[in-house]
């Protein structure tokens, strides 16, 4: 995952996200959903930060942050910053 550019959470609001899904494998998509739910639990109960590896319209990025919420389509970070779930490659 060394080809991902470190991006601060505050800078995510200025990024543009296409609607296209970044994953093609259904099992990977299910794993991502499970990982997001785990990240939400860790964020709410333990206040632990996780790394979200994602892709905007121009590059691959990684942001270390706490997940505050999840909707059907987006991950909600602190201060209302959102990342579309279909643009996320991995959560660790």
pTM given for the model: 0.94
> At the top level of CATH, which class does the domain 5-91 belong to?
mainly beta
**Strand 67-70 to strand 50-55: parallel, antiparallel, or no bridges (unpaired)?**
unpaired
> Taking the domains of the chain in order of start, what are their residue ranges?
5-91
> 65: left (phi > 0), else alpha (psi -120 to 50), else beta?
beta
- Residue 2's pLDDT is what? 79
Give tens-digit pLDDT for 4-61.
999 999 999 999 999 999 999 999 999 999 999 999 998 888 888 999 999 999 999 9
What string of DSSP letters covers 28-63? HHHHHHHHHHHHHHIIIII---EEEEEE-SS-EEEE
Burial class (CB in 10 A: 0-12, 13-18, 19+), 66: middle
């Amino acid at each position: 995952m060394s080809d991902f550019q470190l991006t601060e959470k505050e800078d995510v609001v200025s990024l543009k996200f296409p609607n296209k899904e970044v994953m093609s494998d259904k099992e990977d998509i299910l794993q991502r959903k499970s990982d997001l739910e785990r990240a939400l639990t860790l964020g709410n109960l333990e206040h632990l930060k996780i790394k979200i590896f994602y892709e905007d319209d121009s590059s691959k990025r990684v942001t270390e942050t706490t997940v505050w919420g999840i909707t059907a389509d987006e991950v909600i970070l602190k201060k209302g910053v959102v990342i579309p779930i279909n643009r996320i490659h991995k959560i660790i």
